[in-house]
Amino acid sequence: MANAKDNVGPRAIPSAGPDFEHLLAQEVVIEGAETAPTGAQAIAPDHSPRAPVPTHDAAALPAPALVASDDVQREVEQILYRQAELLDGKHWQAFIDLFAADGVYWMPVTREQTEWEGSPSIFAEDKPMMEIRKGRVSHPNAWSQAPMWETNHLVSHVAIESTANGAIEVRSRFHMMELRRDAIRHFGGSYRHTLVRDAAGALKIKLQRVDLFNGQAPFDYVLQIWV
């Protein structure tokens, strides 16, 4: 009631009486304090239940995408789509072949990690290690590969950030669904590819960084192969 203040003073607390009827006839409006400290801030000014809020300075903003020539944009998109297609089709060697000889597939645990070596990762694999993973999932007695599973990747938001020094930096986003037994799991996040050209001029992956949006969640079951 907007005019409640006209009837009673804003701070007047009606006193209890023999019945409740007179209480219902009165209304109290309390007003949020503008300056006086209240709530938990009044009790413990230095307490915050929150983790430190990341600073949103200009440097942390994603770089705007380059408007690269149509040719480069399409060429880059096609290698990303190709990679997704090879994973969903379980063409492991062809997937590995997309990487440069010194190429690395890396999935850190947190966004703050900057180097693929030297801190705990979910994946941190050079080509020999990728070959071991391929060998493992292809082995007839790889128990966790029975039953086999299926995945479906979507890749989008392909934004080329730079093409300087013979390397293309590109970020994109992905969504992968995985079916195993009767359960579907979802993995989403972002890719960051550093692409270089081999002697024949073909694009190869020098570094693929994969940030799962849920990288720090407890995993219901492990990931078997690259995402």
Asked if 166 is part of the footprint of other proteins (rule: CB under 8 A), the reply reads: no
Task: Pick the closest to residue 97 from 200, 207, 204, 173 (CA basis).
Answer: 204
Distance CA 100, CA 14 (A): 79
Nearer Cβ to other proteins (3/141): 141
Per-residue tokens: 217: 């969640």
Asked if 120 is part of the footprint of other proteins (rule: CB under 8 A), the reply reads: yes
Binding mask 141-160 for other proteins (x = CB under 8 A): xxxxx---------------
Q: Which of 19, 31, 71, 220 binds other proteins (CB under 8 A)?
A: 220
Distances (CA, A) of 143 to 166, 184, 212: 43, 20, 26
Asked if 164 is part of the footprint of other proteins (rule: CB under 8 A), the reply reads: no
Asked if 87 is part of the footprint of other proteins (rule: CB under 8 A), the reply reads: no
Site for other proteins in 27-66 (CB under 8 A): 39-40, 42-44, 46-51
Distances (CA, A) of 113 to 10, 107, 213: 55, 10, 14
Distance CA 141, CA 144 (A): 9
Q: Which of 78, 119, 152, 162 binds other proteins (CB under 8 A)?
A: 119
Distance CA 227, CA 216 (A): 16
Nearer Cβ to other proteins (158/215): 215
Per-residue tokens: 215: 């990288």
Q: How many residues bind other proteins (CB under 8 A)?
A: 47
**How far apart are CB 221 and other proteins at their closest, in Å?**
6
Q: Which of 118, 164, 200, 201 binds other proteins (CB under 8 A)?
A: 118
Planar angle of CA 18, 22, 26, nearest 5 degrees: 140
Q: Which of 69, 110, 156, 162 binds other proteins (CB under 8 A)?
A: 110
**How far apart are CB 98 and other proteins at their closest, in Å?**
19
Asked if 219 is part of the footprint of other proteins (rule: CB under 8 A), the reply reads: yes
- Which residue intervals of 120-197 are DSSP H helices? 127-138
Residue 12 CA, distance from chain mean position: 52
Nearer Cβ to other proteins (54/128): 128
Asked if 200 is part of the footprint of other proteins (rule: CB under 8 A), the reply reads: no
Asked if 224 is part of the footprint of other proteins (rule: CB under 8 A), the reply reads: yes
Asked if 11 is part of the footprint of other proteins (rule: CB under 8 A), the reply reads: no
Contact 210, 188 (CB under 8 A): no
